[in-house]
Chains A and B, each alone.
Chain A
Amino acid sequence: MTSKPLISLLQAYGDDELILGHRHSEWTGFAPHIEEDVAFSSIAQDEIGHATNYFMLLAELTDDDADRLALGRDSSEYRNAVICERANGDWAYTLARHWLYDTADDIRLEALERSASKDLAQLATKMRREERYHLIHADMWMKRVTHGPVEGRSRLETGLSSAFSEALGLFEPIELEGEAVDEGWLPTPSVEMKSAFVERASNTLDELGLPTEVRADLDESAEFVASSSGDLIASPDGGDAKPARPSGLGGRSGEHSEDFIHLWGEMTRTYREHPGATW
């Protein structure tokens, strides 16, 4: 049976891993410290490996090819959250995003371990064991930088203030989210995972004594729900019906930033110039 909601889920999460993995790989040779050069290269390899596995499941369902799914799609066909495609900026922004993403990914994988898709549940269990290293790495650096020299802490705060609100885009509902939840592919709705994420991340920020301004964006950002037309609208309980399209949303319906267009061009160039090439 070909399930469209399951396809939508695999596409969105596989794209997150692929695109963020590509961004991490851009640190190879450029990280501020040789051990971090090794670490980010290895984390990139893990994330791209996870994307490969999502795409292998997807390829089976759609009678497609994992390489084509990764590299042979038009730029409008990617469903990753916008935060994954943002340019690396400085290392502090990269660290903030790495910590936020891997915290979010842990919550997501914990849910997927209970997916009605046995293959996906088994893959999630496997990936989560590897992801422990990413979480520890990110936590360790959050602590080091927070308790280190003022410049590092100040840059981290700047990085967090732009990354935190955009990280909520990771929990923007996927296409056909309602069906994905009803059919058990996605055992926990995105909105619930988002609450768990905000609570967990906020607790860590409190423990680190990072200022509340870091989270100001978060409190202001409107709740979002998918309307029947698939458009994102402000949640009715959000009070004023502000047209809600805070920065960082839209990725799940294929709306991307300029940053993505550049990344896509570079990432898919070899594949586009030499279709069907293997390496």
Chain B
Amino acid sequence: MRTLAATIELAVWEALATVPDPEIPAVSVVDMGMIKHVEVDGHEVRVTVLPTFTGCPAIGIIKQDVGAAVAAVRDVESVSVETTFDPPWTTDRITDEGRVKLKEFGLAPPTGEGPVLIGNIGLPMRAECPFCGSTDTRNENLFGPTPCRALYYCASCRQPFEQFKEV
């Protein structure tokens, strides 16, 4: 039989799986690997969140949404939400399910290859077009509309698209 703490912890993780990333609502904070851990002490819950990009203004909203979702879980009486850079959040933390959801949302998932400069102007970050699957793509800009996105163009289906940046 499960203890109360274990029951609460399970329910908290279920609740967290419904909290969307405010800028990419197709994925949850759990899909993004942003939840470091959930600690339950009696009826008190402490959630530790790993911020994605340090300049991302969504972190305030994420903390608020996480707190509200956990507070609504049965038997939870108090919630605290903390952030830490230990360990630093990296794109490796995005789950396989999260990667599929990013692609469905129209964002190419990170490839696992960091950015590098080769030659004079090379930006050989690889990205697979989320629309047609082609890898005949080129990076147009290392930066994009949010700190976590880079701009690409697909030479195959001739669509611009964005990639979630490797970090």
Cβ of A144 under 8 Å from chain B: yes
Asked if B141 and A39 sit within 8 Å, CB to CB, the answer is: yes
Q: Which residues of A contact B121 (CB under 8 A)?
A: 140, 143-144
Complex alpha-carbon distance, A144 and B123, angstroms: 13
Cβ of B114 under 8 Å from chain A: yes
Within 8 A of A (CB), among B67-102: 84-86, 88-90
Q: Which residues of B contact A122 (CB under 8 A)?
A: 84-86, 88
Asked if A43 and B84 sit within 8 Å, CB to CB, the answer is: no
Cβ of B120 under 8 Å from chain A: yes
Proximity string of chain B (129-146) to chain A, C-beta cutoff 8 Å, 1 when within and 0 when not: 000000000001111111
Q: Which residues of A contact B56 (CB under 8 A)?
A: 49
Q: Which residues of B contact A133 (CB under 8 A)?
A: 115, 142-143, 165
Number of interface residues of A (CB under 8 A): 32
Asked if A39 and B88 sit within 8 Å, CB to CB, the answer is: no
Q: Which residues of B contact A126 (CB under 8 A)?
A: 54, 85, 88-89
Cβ of A45 under 8 Å from chain B: yes
Given the known A-B contacts A35-B141, A133-B165, are A46 and B54 also in contact in the complex, defined by CB atoms under 8 Å?
Answer: yes
Cβ of B151 under 8 Å from chain A: yes
What secondary structure prevails in chain A residues at the interface with B?
helix
Asked if A139 and B54 sit within 8 Å, CB to CB, the answer is: no
Cβ of B1 under 8 Å from chain A: no
Among B54, B84, B86, B90, which residue has the most Cβ atoms of chain A within 10 A? B54
Write the chain B residue with the least CB distance to A51.
Answer: B55
Asked if A132 and B120 sit within 8 Å, CB to CB, the answer is: no
Q: Which residues of A contact B115 (CB under 8 A)?
A: 132-133, 136
Proximity string of chain A (33-55) to chain B, C-beta cutoff 8 Å, 1 when within and 0 when not: 00100110111011111101100
Proximity string of chain A (116-143) to chain B, C-beta cutoff 8 Å, 1 when within and 0 when not: 0011001101110110110011011001
Asked if B147 and A46 sit within 8 Å, CB to CB, the answer is: yes
Write the chain B residue with the least CB distance to A43.
Answer: B143
Write the chain B residue with the least CB distance to A120.
Answer: B85
Q: Which residues of B contact A139 (CB under 8 A)?
A: 117
Within 8 A of A (CB), among B1-39: none
A38 nearest CB across to chain B (Å) = 5
Cβ of B167 under 8 Å from chain A: yes
Cβ of A147 under 8 Å from chain B: yes
Asked if B120 and A147 sit within 8 Å, CB to CB, the answer is: yes
Q: Which residues of A contact B143 (CB under 8 A)?
A: 38-39, 41-43, 133, 137
Write the chain A residue with the least CB distance to B117.
Answer: A136
Asked if A53 and B116 sit within 8 Å, CB to CB, the answer is: no
Write the chain A residue with the least CB distance to B55.
Answer: A49
Q: Which residues of A contact B146 (CB under 8 A)?
A: 42
Asked if B120 and A39 sit within 8 Å, CB to CB, the answer is: no
Asked if B120 and A144 sit within 8 Å, CB to CB, the answer is: yes
Asked if B123 and A140 sit within 8 Å, CB to CB, the answer is: yes
Asked if B55 and A48 sit within 8 Å, CB to CB, the answer is: yes
Asked if B142 and A137 sit within 8 Å, CB to CB, the answer is: yes
Q: Which residues of A contact B57 (CB under 8 A)?
A: 49
The 9 A-B pairs at the shortest CB distance, nearest first, are namely A49-B55, A42-B143, A122-B85, A126-B88, A39-B143, A126-B85, A46-B55, A143-B120, A35-B141
Residues of chain A whose beta carbon lies under 8 Å from any beta carbon of chain B: 35, 38-39, 41-43, 45-50, 52-53, 118-119, 122-123, 125-127, 129-130, 132-133, 136-137, 139-140, 143-144, 147
Apart from A48-B55, A133-B165, A139-B117, what are 20 other A-B pairs with CB-CB below 8 Å? Answer: A35-B151, A38-B141, A39-B142, A39-B143, A43-B143, A46-B53, A46-B55, A46-B147, A49-B53, A49-B55, A49-B56, A52-B54, A118-B86, A123-B54, A125-B85, A125-B88, A132-B115, A133-B115, A136-B115, A137-B142
Residues of chain B whose beta carbon lies under 8 Å from any beta carbon of chain A: 53-57, 84-86, 88-90, 114-117, 120-121, 123, 140-147, 151, 165, 167
Can you list 6 A-B pairs, Cβ within 8 angstroms, ordered by A?
A42-B146, A42-B147, A130-B54, A140-B123, A143-B121, A144-B121
